[in-house]
Amino acid sequence: MLAYSRCMADLFKALADSTRRIIMDELAQRDGQTLFEICGRLAMIHELAMSRQAVSQHLAVLEEAGLVISRREGRYKLHHLDTAPLREIAERWPQTHTNDQGTNQ
Amino acid sequence: MLAYSRCMADLFKALADSTRRIIMDELAQRDGQTLFEICGRLAMIHELAMSRQAVSQHLAVLEEAGLVISRREGRYKLHHLDTAPLREIAERWPQTHTNDQGTNQ
DNA sequence: AGAATAGGCAAGCATCCACTTGCCTGTCAA
DNA sequence: TTGACAGGCAAGTGGATGCTTGCCTATTCT
């Protein structure tokens, strides 16, 4: 029905890597970045020195999971975040009543 | 501050495996199961023939992530689900405005 | 006490996955 | 048109991880 939900496995697998989660943070903060921009900001801001190809593969995984959507713009490829698939997570497991909210003991 | 949030990496790593997600489904449906019960229901309902030790290791990962809490009861160890850590996911990435909701084209 | 039941510890193995390296394609500016 | 820039494809590698196997501890029932 929806384009982004190929299967839930892809979603969780995409979220499993910390670098990919940081890339999602980056895109949440500044939308429509190119591969090179993301590479640069990972290195600068997050001190993640990583080959361009590694980041490209991460973006492919995120896109496969529907968490990132990309569009070509000339020789640039702009990426932006889509958090819609995340809603499936909250919907899958009903909220549990843990009473360690107020009782700090 | 909270016992369950050792770090976010554990949470996502725990969710990354499909067997663990099914275990969570099982616990969501019937709370307080023992290791042997979970083994049995994985085999019966989900047709997942798997050694007891494998399930035990999965439960350990889920517990490490704070998604499962266990308590000893004699020679039994009862497990129950805690979905509270899942809230961190939704909170981390703000909701994006994707307009491919109605436009099915 | 002794057998049965519920679970734990640790080593070994096979697969998966993140990352690199090398080379290729496509787009833009001088 | 040629070089610089943005990105893609594919093979190789080291480390993480899911699962098994074998043995051990603790609790309960007869």
**What residues of B are in contact with residue A3 (Cβ under 8 Å)?**
100
Q: Average model confidence (pLDDT) for chain A?
A: 89
Element (DSSP H or E) covering residue B30: none
Binned at pLDDT 50, 70 and 90, residue A94 comes out as: confident
Q: What topology is assigned to B8-87 in CATH?
A: Arc Repressor Mutant, subunit A (1.10.10)
Whether B28 and A93 lie within 8 Å, measured CB to CB: yes
Closest CA of chain A from B60, distance in Å: 17
Q: Tell me the mean pLDDT in the region B30-58.
A: 97
- What is d(CA A67, CA A79) in angstroms, rounded to the nearest whole number? 10
Taking CB atoms and an 8 Å cutoff, what residues of chain B touch A25? 92-93
Burial of A73 (0-12, 13-18, 19+ CB in 10 A): exposed
Count the neighbouring beta carbons within 10 Å of the beta carbon of residue B74. 6
What lies within 8 Å, CB to CB, of A69 at 6+ separation is: A63, A79, A80, A82
The residues, ordered by sequence, that sit 6+ positions from A98 with a Cβ below 8 Å of its Cβ are: B82, B84
pLDDT at B104 over 80: no
Q: How is domain A18-85 classified at the architecture level of CATH?
A: Orthogonal Bundle (1.10)
Chain B contact present for A9, CB below 8 A: yes
> Among partner residues A8, A81, A93, which is closest to B96 by beta-carbon distance?
A81
d(CA A4, CA A64): 8
Q: What is the mean pLDDT of residues A72-82?
A: 97
Tell if the CB–CB gap between B8 and A21 is shorter than 8 Å: yes
Domain locations in chain B? Answer: 8-87
- A7-19 residue pLDDT tens: 899 999 999 999 9
Over residues A20-40, the mean pLDDT reads 98
Q: Which of A28, A20, A26 is nearest to A40 (CA)?
A: A26
